[in-house]
Structure 1
Amino acid sequence: MSDNLYPKATAEMSARRKELAPKTHDAFTEFSKQVFADGALDEKTKQLIAVAVAHVTQCPYCIDGHTKLASRKGATDNEVMEAIWVAAEMRAGGAYAHAALALGALGHESSNHSH
């Protein structure tokens, strides 16, 4: 992460968030623990999903943190990169699929002609 674009996440920043909204902060922390706990999916898989989602939401803090967590949970570099490629395809696929809206607006959804 570039220190010039985003401030470094610090303990002080986390403490300030908690100070400003302690109940919400604690609820979010507990929610996060529950979400990433082993369940039907193991934590490594959940972290790989988080890496992919972080790339779609474009959160640099999440990309950094969840990539490190996925690695610590046993994900290989190849698995992390594949998760990122899945995210890239899904994001591109969304744009491709939503072309149906543009085609509908243009009135071409059932015709093959162009202007």
Structure 2
Amino acid sequence: MENDTLYPITTKELADKKAALAPKNLEAWRNFSKTVFEAGALDEKTKQLIAVAVAHVTQCPYCIRSHSKYAMRKGASKEEIMEAIWVAAEMRAGAAYAHATIAMDEMEKH
């Protein structure tokens, strides 16, 4: 089957195939993920908002969809999610500018 999209649709069949290739790793990953997103010093909503921001920085479309949905399920408003995305945008842009110091350092050598 030809797929004309950049990112394939996730299906149970694909998930099952991935799981079968490394079941112990997947089980460990699921346990790790479950533990990370449990309430602790940070509540679950805050953790999901962080995940939304990070998903935008890493540009993972699957993560963006998943964590946006979970953030709303944990009580985040659309405005909070958008604000988290803007924080991610600022951090990504800020990192690009901050790394200009590396280019400046190299340019100064020549």
Show the counterpart of 1:82: 83
User: C-alpha separation between the residues in 1 aligned to 2:17 and 2:67?
Assistant: 22
For normalisation by structure 2, the TM-score amounts to: 0.92
Superposed CA deviations along residues 31-87 of structure 1, whole A, max 9, x for unmatched, are 000000011101100000000000000000000000000001100000000000000
Q: Mapping of 1:1-115 within 5 angstroms?
A: 4-107=5-108
Q: State how many pairs are aligned.
A: 106
Q: Give the aligned CA root-mean-square deviation in angstroms.
A: 1.2
User: C-alpha separation between the residues in 1 aligned to 2:28 and 2:59?
Assistant: 24
Superposed CA deviations along residues 75-100 of structure 1, whole A, max 9, x for unmatched, are 00000000000000000000110111
For structure 2, list consecutive stretches of 5 or more residues without a partner in the other structure. Answer: none
For structure 1, list consecutive stretches of 5 or more residues without a partner in the other structure. Answer: 109-115
Question: Which stretches of structure 1, 4 residues or more, deviate above 3 A after TM superposition?
Answer: none
Larger Rg: 1
User: C-alpha separation between the residues in 1 aligned to 2:6 and 2:101?
Assistant: 36
Amino acid at match of 2:78: D
Q: Percent identity?
A: 64
How far apart are 1:4 and its partner, in Å? 2.1
For normalisation by structure 1, the TM-score amounts to: 0.89
